[in-house]
Every structure is written in C-alpha cells, then in structure tokens.
Structure 1
C-alpha cells in the first residue's frame, strides 16, 4: 500500500531539449500546484549544491571515455555496464557526499522497482533501465525539474503527449506511475530502434534524439563515449550515462558498496474501480473505507481533487483489497450540499457591498449570517462568510427507512414548454448535475415538457443554524464543486422553498381524539410519524399537505395514540 509521505531528494535534473516554448518564453505544459495538500506539491528534483558538486567533480576527471572497459561482473546486468573515470567518480560520490540521497533513493526503490521491472521484462527491454527513473526523479512521482519535466520519468509536456499521456487542467498522467512507465518504455524502445545502442538511447532520452542524431552526424562517431569527447554536449547531459551506470552497479549489489540495512518501502499495490465523471476524492475515500489523504496519494495525477469531468468514466485507484467494499458502497453513496463558513477580516475602506461582490453574496445573507443590524463595518472585525460545500455519507445497506427521511424533502416540478435544466436549477438554486442525478437523466438535455422532476431540497429556513442542505435520494451521485448555494442570490434576498400548505391554523376546531403538534427544528414527516406511530400519508391527508415539506413553528393535527 502506498505511503502518503513524499520526500525531497537530490534527483537528476532533466536537460531535455525537445520541449516547446510559448511566445512569451514560458515552457509549454508547466504544471501547477492545484491540489491544496502540503504532501502533494510538486517537488524540486535536485538541489543546486548537488548539481554544482557533480559538475565540478566531472570537470576534474579529464578526457571522457579514456580507458573505458567492460566490467568483470557484467553477468549481473542486462544493461551495458562499463567502468571509466566518470563512472568511478559517481561510484565515489554516491558513497560519500551524496550517500544520504542515494540511501533515500534505494529505500524508495522498493515501492516502484518490482512493478517497473515487470513491465520492462514484458516489453523485452533491459530490466536495469528501472534505475533510469532513479536518476531522473529519485523515485518521486511529483519530482519537478527546472526545465519543467515532471514525474518518475521526467517527461516534458510535448514528449508526454506524443507518447499518449493525458495532460490538461484535470489530470497529468506524467505523475501516474503506471501510465508514465508505459510511455517511458515505449519511448526508450523507439530510441533504441533508432540508435541501436543503449548508451546513445538513454543519452537521447535525456538530451532529445535530435541532439544525439546531429552530434553523431557532425563528428562522424557511432558511440556515446566518442561523442562525449567533443564539446558538443553540455556537461549536464554528459553526466547522464555514467551516473546511470553507477546507480545500476550500486543498486544491484548495495552491500558491496557499503549500503546495508536499507529500509526498503513496500511495493506499490492498489485496486481500481470505475467511477463516474467528476467524482471528488473524498467520496472515493468514503466508499473504499479509507481517508482522503491516502486516496490523493494513490491518485496524484488528478490535479483538482476529483476524477476528470470530461471523461465518460475513470478508473480511480483505491487501497489494495478494498475493491469489493467500494463496489458495494457505491450504490449507497449519497451527497448533500451544506453551507460552510470561511472568515473574512474587514480591511480599511471595505464595505458590505464590496465584500458581497468579492464572494458573490447578497447583503441580506451576509448581515443575517453575522447577526448584524447595520452595514457599518469596523476594520479588523471578522465576518463569517457562507459558501456551499458538498458532503457525502453512506446510507445503511437495505435500510429504506433512512430514505424516507430524505423523501420528506421532495418537491415535484412539472416541466413547462421551453423550460431547461439550467432554468430549473436557477429557479430552485441547485446545481444542474444534481437534478440530473436525482432523476436518473442521461444528460441535462434529456427532458421534455410535461415530465415531472424530483427535487430534494431541505427547508432553507434552517440556514440560520448553519444546517441548510440539499439532499440526494439517488445512488452514485457525482457533483462538481463548488455547488450553487441558496444563500447566494442576485435578487438581494435569501430564497426560501416552502410547502404549499404549512398546516392548519390553531383556531380550527378538531375532534377530541386529535392533538395539535408544533413542528420543531429538525422534524420531518417521517420522524413525526415514527414518534406518534402513525403514517406520514395520514399526517399529509389530515393537514391538507401537498408535499412532504414542513417548517419549524407550523402546527399539525396529529391523531392521539
């Protein structure tokens, strides 16, 4: 099972040159920190101090490729391992000043090496290429270089897209270990087909195939070491091959080089489950019986904390062994829109109007939430600012009585000619896709005049206690955040959805075997029917109610028990 902790490391900076630059000089595909989680930020792939140390040591090794020999233990490797002054420099560096970084890489290798080796073997590529990811990223999925290469394999955006990695505002598959490994294997296979030499192929992976291709042609050479003797490749690129070879040699026999008692991480394992578009990761955590931090760690490629809304379905990763639980819970997942609160500290010169514009609120709502009778504001005072937030819960399996409580909030809307889901959503101040989910519609366009829509909307009067909710009665409800709150209105008033009848006035005479009951905050027809051991239908009929909506303070006729 994947750990949610991520580590900074001294990883290799990618000097790939085959990126695309925009007109303003920015590199295409620059990733943003879209997930508001400190453990899931992009991580710097190498410190300046480590880079300076490497380049200084390399410059002191003299001519490149001199006395290059095949190691005497080549049977341990399926990558062409050689020794020379540059390789020996890295062997020494990893055992001394960069020992701590290399120990971290080895520890993290336990998570990724088994999976990547399996994929390399299936593709017929050398399994030693698994350590290419080590020197690229230090096995950090969110490693991010100064040239804006990202992920375990440090793909630039252009190359990643060329090798079928999806990169947009919702997802960056360069961070997905499974997808990025498949693309890296395909890329390395193509490079080997072109150059017929693994040293040249991995050099091209770093520098770009065009750079290597042009160098071989210019200097009439056919191998990496002869090309490296010329002042054609940057030293940052030249270091790539000897660094990989040294990493392979130590990683395959760590004890020989003094790396003992390494606490290798457990191999990365997970299950997958197909979910609907736009499902937030906190909902995935609920159905899989874990916490959202673990789900985020397993799905770091998702940049907005939810599955892509622009895909028909998405295979989200969940903890190993939890697929059966998640599948069974999916049918019992219910969502509701609640009102959360953030704090705004009043600044000098701010007015109620300017604050309302900033948060798209109406004045009445903001004054009511803060129990203010005047719009005069004092700088430094804190205001509570309401905002809509989507929450999730699981209903007990097979317990239909729980749904009865939800159905007490039912409103039936008959679609008129010319009405759209958009117009209806604005009228009732609910998100369009909730209406779609509540009614099992295929899309926002699949409605017709005369059709009745079910809306599950709790009494907006309860918003004074901070508990206004829009409730869902259907399973597998997926909604985009943020939702539209009934507290937000362009009309300047808090909208209230009321029943067609609030109950009969207490002046009406009633038989002696009946009582008046005053509706309390939190009551529903279902809870009242349970309390007095009568049916909800009877209460509706006695009180001339045309829906299940009731309001605190209303009076109802109840038959004596």
Structure 2
C-alpha cells in the first residue's frame, strides 16, 4: 500500500513538471527593442583586456582645488616666518646636500627654504599624496622631452609648482596648461590655439615648448636657477635684478631684487623636489595611480566626434577621455582638411576602436544628425508629456561661516554636506581660493536645490489648479512659463497687478520660470463643495460659479477695491462689476454707487 502511494506521488510530480515545461515553452516572449547604440556595441569585435576605472576618482584627480591652493601658497607664503613642524635642521641640511650632489641645481640650506618645506609638510601633505599619483602619468612625458634637449630632469617638478599637474589649469592672467603658457608665448612656440583646440593644454606639445624655452634661457643666463626665475617673471626682470645687485649672477645673490612672487618661486620648486625625494620619510603615501602613460596610445580621428559619443561606444568614463585629451576645449575632436587630429586612449580601447572603426564613425554621424535636429522639428516629433507642477521653495536666510586656517572649499562643502559649486554660486566666487577670515554664505542642507527638483519647461498649455485654503477660501495657482510677466498673467486671469503682487508677497516685477503664483481667491460657499482642477486658462475661466446675488447696490467705502468688493458677493467677479457699472479701469472712489448683478 505504501509503495503504491509513493509510485502515485512520483507519477503526479513528473506530470506536473512536464506540464510546466510545455507551458513555459508555449509562452511567447515579448520582443525587446534595443537602441542603435546598443546594436552597434553588441556587434563589436571585443578583446579580452579590460581596465576598470573609477570615474569618481577621475573627477577627484582632475579637480582644480590643489592648483588654487598651491598657487595661493606660493604667492603669499612668508619665507621669513618660522613654521613649527618636526624636522631637525641638521637632518634637513644633510638631505639637501645629498640632493645637491646629484643635481645641476645649486641646492643649499637657508632658513627661507626650511620654512617653505615645513609649511608644505604642515598644510599640504594630502595634496602631495594626490600629486604623486598624477606624476606617474606625467613625469615620463616630461623626462622624455627634457632628455632630448639636455634639460635637467629635475625641472619636471616645476610643473607641480606651475599647475599642480592639471593641464586644464588657467591662471588669473590667462596662463594655461601644465606649463602655464600665456597666449602670446604659446603662439611664439607654435602651439595651436583656436575655438576647438588649445595645445597649451597638450602635455606632449606644451612640454616640448617648455623644454625649448629652458634651453634658450640657459644659453643666455648659464644658471638653471635664473632660468626658473625667468620662466616665472620673464628674462627682463632677471636682467634688472642682476644690474641692481651690482652684476651678481647667482639666484640667491639677486633674489631680493626680483619680484616678490619670484622670490618664493624657486624655493617652492626646491621644496617640491625635496618632498618628492623624501616623501616616505615624512609619511606621505602616494595614492593609487589612475593610469600610466605607457598604458595609452593614440589613434588618428578621421571624422568629427564628441567625447560623449566615444565614451558611450567604448564603455568608458567621459572624464577619462578628458584627462587623456585635455587640448580639446569643447570635448569634441574636430576634423580639419589637411590637418591630423589624434585621440589618446587606453590601449585596450584603442584595439576596440581599430577593430570597429567604420561602425563607430557611422554611429557618430547618426548621433550628430539627431543632435542637430532643429528645435521646432524636435518638438513636433517628440510626444508631449504632462509636467507635474513642482513648488519651488522660497529663498531662506543664509548661514555664515568664517574661513579658518587650513580650510578649503572641499572641506567646507563636506562639513555642510553641500557641493563646492553651490558655495561658489552663493558667494560669487570665480576660483577656489579662500582668504583667511572671510565670511562665506552657506544654505542649510534642506534648502539646497537637488538636480531632481529642477522644473522642466511647461508645455504650451498652462497649468492652473484650485485648492481650498484653511481660511475658507479657494485659491487658484498658476505656474510661470517662458514668456510670462506679471502684466500678462494679471490680464489672463482678469485681476489687477497689485492684487497679484499682494497675494504672492511680491516686491518686484521679476519672475522665475516655474514659480507658483496665486491668481485667484474666492470665498468658499456651500455651493462650492467641489473644486475642479483645470489644465488650461480657458477652462479655468469657464469654471462653474454659484448663483449671483440679485439686484443690490453697494456704496464704495474708503480702502475698497474691486477685488475686495467682489469677495463680498459669492460668485461675483471683478469683470462682472465692471460690466454692470460700465467701468473700464480699476479707478473707484469712496461714495461711488455700484450695481451688483443689475
């Protein structure tokens, strides 16, 4: 009996299984549509090598805060002020002597140099950790260019002082790139500068130009410290300093006759060299290298392409393409007739690009045509979607924060959980530099605009909605759209400008796109138990009203307005009163007799 029950259970189980399989096989799977981009990528011939890049880390390394901090330090640092930092003077002298023995620079101890080294150690250890990571990519480029011109390889540290190894760095005077060339100097050394390209930001070409400059200046001064001084202040100022010093030709002898910034420039260069040489001894640990130069290669681009198109096709962060190709100003690789333009990419991405070149160019052409579609045509072919009204919070008082020693925008932003961009906008800052003791305006976190709260442009149909307020009134709201002003809105809803301002506490005539305005207030009556939300101004004007009070006269009192009078009679509008009394404007006077529903 037991065996018979087991057999029956097994047979039932297998029957259910077979039935389920047949049912699953009989189901028709819905067809999934994929985009043109996905179809192109699915057809790519792929190679096995893959490099994982963290885009957030990329943004961190390419930020300009280190450049701003170091630039400010070099311009304001006081070499005569002793810094309290643990570094025995005798030990420092020994290390500087060791550096001097293997360098063409005359590196000798002085109190000013010690103060700058200790200042960097005290305030910029984290910055140098990040800079050493970037140096693994840029220093091989510098060393290769300098070796060809017999320029000391130690001059690679000058790029740290000049730009904090940021090829996109731009000074207040307009100097640009790793080596901070001015426009005229860049043109003098055949660096191309136009709307699409700025080769002052190209690591290879700008370094070659810097190497040529150093060679020419050494032929004039015969001293590498003076070459560096001329790079900062110009050869003319160095020549004047030599004359004022009585003909002395060593940097340390003429330093006090040079411009103030240049007096700290060469010591800052030597201090940077020291920190790179002895970073382990001071507990400075380089952050992980993002990418190394020998892991990249270039390819000639045959058609105009954007960085976004390349990033989408090759599945890589756009920020990585920007880091490797900083000379393209608009994030576009242009195509000029009889000129060649190259794109630098990781080697595995180069392989993917070469193997699928025609497909990539075809997609770029297709994507560019979509992008260039006229806006009016795009509106016709794009389905209209209803936009949900979003109330924009009114401005609130800003908190104040006093800048303290060691602060930077990043640390302050982190403290208040806001972005650096927000702080710069609130305080009208054009750079990341901060002055000690400055009061910064900070918005509380709850009032910081999030990207998701940005109001999309309303469709042609205005959005009006009615709400019953706590004061037994019906309030009708209107969302400001493009082209609106207070006059047009008041006319549209048959109200006065003063009423519109009063209801919305407006002190000026300026309106923000997406702002929610109260455009009507009516007393709530028993007959108005249901309020209908309308999506157009026309239907709003046609909304049902209660029965009007019949055959009454009203004498205008002091302080009355057509709006206040209309509120006294449920269902009566301002236009009704105007019509019944032949009034063309808002001008009514005390004692005036008005007919109500005459």
Q: Secondary structure at the match of 2:343?
A: strand
Map of 1:397-416 to 2, 5 A cutoff? none
Counterpart-to-counterpart distance in 2, 1:252 and 1:211? 31
Q: 1:263 maps to which residue?
A: 287
Unaligned runs of 5+ in 1: 9-38, 62-67, 343-358, 384-561
Q: TM-score, normalised by structure 1?
A: 0.51
1:280 aligns with 306
Partner of 2:426: none
For 1:364 and 1:140, how far apart are their aligned partners in 2? 41
What CA distance in whole angstroms lies between the structure 2 residues aligned with 1:364 and 1:141? 40
**Does 1:251 pair with 2:251?**
no
Matched, 1:126 2:152: yes
1:55 — aligned with what?
77
DSSP 3-state at the match of 2:131: helix
Cα distance, 1:377 vs. partner? 3.9
What residue is the counterpart of 1:159 in the other structure?
185
Residue 433 of structure 1 corresponds to none
Mapped partners of 1:6, 1:103: distance in 2: 15
Measure the CA separation in 1 of the matches of 2:182 and 2:217.
Answer: 16
Change (3 A) 1:282 1:217: same
> CA offsets, 1:51-77, max 9 Å, x none?
38953344679xxxxxx9983542333
**Cα 1:170–1:44, aligned 2, differ >3 Å: closer, same or farther?**
farther
More helix by share: 2
CA distance in 1, matches of 2:379, 2:252: 75
Q: Is the 8 A contact 1:281 1:306 kept in 2?
A: yes
Q: Is 2:129–2:284's contact at 8 Å kept on the other side of the alignment? A: no
Q: Aligned to 1:365, which of 380, 398, 421?
A: 380
Match of 1:315 in 2: 342
Indicate if the aligned counterparts of 1:42 and 1:144 stay in contact, CA closer than 8 A. no
Deviation at 1:135, TM superposition (A): 1.2
CA RMSD of aligned residues (A): 3.8
Give yes or no for contact 1:165–1:173 (8 Å, CA) kept in 2: yes
If asked which structure has higher relative contact order (CA below 8 Å, sep 6+), I would say: 1
Cα distance, 1:368–1:75 mapped onto 2, change above 3 Å: closer
Cα 1:363–1:323, aligned 2, differ >3 Å: closer, same or farther?
Answer: closer
Aligned: 1:45 with 2:45: no
Distance in 2 (CA, whole Å) between partners of 1:363 and 1:99 is 52
Shift of 1:139: 1.5
| Cα pair 1:287 1:325 within 8 Å, conserved | no
State which structure, 1 or 2, has the greater radius of gyration over its C-alpha atoms. 2
Cα deviation, residue 158, structure 1: 1.6
Report the counterpart of residue 222 of structure 1 in structure 2: 249
Instruction: Report the CA distance between 1:284 and its aligned residue.
Output: 3.2
Cα distance in 1 for partners of 2:353, 2:171 equals 36
Q: Deviations over 1:302-321 (max 9, x none)?
A: 11121123353311111123
Identify the residue that residue 74 of structure 1 maps to in structure 2.
Answer: 100
Find the aligned partners of 1:91 and 1:107 in 2 and give their Cα distance. Answer: 20
What TM-score results when the alignment is normalised by the length of structure 2?
0.48
Structure 2 partner of 1:302: 328
Alignment deviations for residues 445-478 of structure 1 (CA, whole Å, 9 cap, x no partner): xxxxxxxxxxxxxxxxxxxxxxxxxxxxxxxxxx
Instruction: Give, in angstroms, the shift of residue 246 of structure 1.
Output: 1.7
- 5+ residue gaps, structure 2, are 1-50, 84-92, 388-458, 464-477, 483-598
Q: Please state whether the residue corresponding to 1:45 is helix, strand or coil.
A: helix
Structure 1 distance, partners of 2:383, 2:121, is 66
Range with bigger deviation, 170-179 or 359-368? 359-368
Partner of 2:235 in structure 1?
Answer: 209
Cα distance in 1 for residues equivalent to 2:356 and 2:223: 52
Which residue pairs with 2:259 in the alignment?
234
1:226–1:75 distance in 2 versus 1, CA, 3 Å = closer
How do residues 482-501 of structure 1 correspond to structure 2 at under 5 angstroms? Answer: none
2:221–2:227: 8 Å Cα contact kept in structure 1?
A: yes
Kindly tell me the number of residue pairs found equivalent between the two proteins.
327
Whether the aligned pair in 2 keeps the contact of 1:287 and 1:330 (CA below 8 Å) is: no
Query: Match of 1:96, SS?
Result: helix
Q: Once the 2 structures are TM-superposed, how far is the Cα of residue 341 of structure 1 from its aligned partner?
A: 12
Q: 1:361 to 1:123 in 2, by over 3 A?
A: same
Matched-pair contact (CA < 8 Å) for 1:110–1:264? no
Matched residues in 2 for 1:218 and 1:95: separation?
Answer: 34
Q: Against the structure 1 CA distance between its residues 362 and 203, is the aligned structure 2 distance closer, same or farther, given a 3 Å change threshold?
A: same
Aligned to 2:354: 327
Q: How does 1:388-403 map to 2 (within 5 A)?
A: none
Distance 1:60 1:209, change over 3 A: farther
Q: What's 1:179 paired with? A: 205
- Aligned pairs for 1:360-509 (under 5 A) are 361=376, 365=380, 369=384, 377-378=462-463, 380=479
